[in-house]
Structure 1
Amino acid sequence: MSEEKSIKLYATHPHPCSYFKDREARTLFVDPHLPFNNRLYTELSKRGFRRSGSHVYRPDCENCQACVASRIPASLFKPSRNQRRCQNRNNDLTVSVRTAMPDDAYALYERYINVRHKDGDMYPPSREQFEQFLCDNVSPSRYACFYLQEQLVAVAVIDIMNDGLSAIYTFYDPHSDRRSLGVMAILWQIQYCRELQLPYVYLGYWIRECAKMRYKTDYRPIELYMSDRWVRLN
């Protein structure tokens, strides 16, 4: 990375891990005052960094490397039988890609957190938290809004980088289990990535020992960032 010598990284003090109750975590943050552009964002993503709100970060835990950055090579992806079934179940949805979060999205987000993530860091939800997490961006984002007729049922927040899409976060109707809307959102982003002729969908951190984060290897082939290089699993 040509700019890496001038990039300041700040490390947090050890704090309770969000995924393992018996572990402490430490996080590296990119200097929030650094002039940010898409080229730098892309290079950082290639090295395992992620965005959350206005912060770009990477886990840096002393005795644990459980969080592994992952990405899907979009042109090579082949859906499984279950993934094809998910697509078929959702053929009645329409998708609108927007440059701003829709006005009715917060109510959906609030329901999603209250039902699906009562044990997580984002509970209880608040509008301030919602705006800081998903609307205050260091990079232009797109909001893929999934509708069943006129009803908003899912939103996928996406950053468009030079070499692909970064799947920042998806929230959806928590009572539509049969639709598997989280799966559908990823499948749609892979197709959108192909339409934009970009190579990768960055999915965030895969964690083998955490059920909520293990699903990412259901999408094959997948690439994992291990020992400072991307390793492909077919």
Structure 2
Amino acid sequence: MSIERRNFPQFFITAPSPCPYLPGRVERKVFTHLVGQDARSLNTQLSQGGFRRSQNIAYRPACDGCASCVSVRVPVNTFDLNRSFRRNLKINADVDSTVIKSQATSEHYSLFRSYIDSRHSDGGMADMTVLDFSAMVDDNFVDSRLVEYRVRSDINERGRLVASVLIDVLGDGISMIYSFYDPDEARRSLGTFMILDNMARVKRLGLPYLYLGYWVRGSRKMDYKAKFLPQERLTADGWRLHREAQD
């Protein structure tokens, strides 16, 4: 067997299961493993092809008769920082972001647990234990980081942790893997703030794209991604620029 053949990733497909986004539909996924010395470059290549990462697995939907899951990335240099986004940044002016090693702590898990119990208690992550959470954050062979968001405080020198996001640094940008935040801080719209913060981070790195994962038309869970414009959406003919949310 040639070296090229041994190094080529093997792809597999899952059995059908209920779709988590659109009721009454069934999903399947094609996936491969991200392991070894080529994991980082493969992660970039697969992200450009519409794959997402979960621990050491890269996957993308492969559903019969459905193409509702659309990969979205934002070209940060042409992003429109509109009035609503500027207001969000002003509201969160007292929040500091720090990039740290992707290593879970009890503080992170406590915040994650509050977020899940409040926002997604019926979702696939509702039963995640602290060990499951640690595996999600810690176990990977790619260039992964955790970003912490803390409200500055005179009482706590480090500040109070209100949000965090797991990110992958790719060859052409950053991929936001999973974010969670304090459900009692709804006025801050921390999900939006984390996206804006990572757009700025991508710019500082001199890279072109922030990958947001899948947008699903008709899914309330995914509607928010359509507001970050202009954005590129992956089609059968490649990435296509969209300047309007529903165009």
Give the Å deviation of 1:25: 0.6
Larger Rg: 2
Residue-by-residue CA offset, 1:93-152 (whole Å, 9 max, x unaligned) = 111110133521110001000001012111133212212222212312111100012110
Q: Distance in 1 between matches of 2:162 and 2:134?
A: 19
Q: Quick one: distance in 2 between partners of 1:228 and 1:11?
A: 23
SS in 1 for 2:222: helix
Check if 1:225 corresponds to 2:228.
no
Q: Distance in 2 between matches of 1:87 and 1:154?
A: 15
Of the three residues 60, 65, 75, the one matched with 1:63 is 65
Q: Equivalent of 1:26, from 19, 28, 37?
A: 28
Q: Give the 5 Å matches for 1:1-234.
A: 6-31=8-33, 36-101=38-103, 103=105, 104-149=107-152, 150-234=159-243
Alpha-carbon contact 1:74-1:200 (below 8 Å) kept: yes
Q: Which moved more, 1:60-69 or 1:129-138?
A: 129-138
Q: How many angstroms apart in 2 are the aligned matches of 1:102 and 1:95?
A: 16
Check conservation: 2:115, 2:181, Cα contact below 8 A: yes
Alpha-carbon shift at residue 83 of structure 1 (Å): 1.1
Q: Is the 8 A contact 1:113 1:124 kept in 2?
A: no
User: Which digits, 9 at most, give the CA deviation of each residue in 1:184-203, with x for residues without a partner?
Assistant: 00000000000000110000
| Partners of 1:117 and 1:123 within 8 A in 2 | yes
Aligned residues: 232
TM-score by length of 1: 0.94
Gap runs ≥5 in structure 2: 153-158
Give distance in 1, aligned partners of 2:170 and 2:35. 20
% identity of equivalent residues: 38
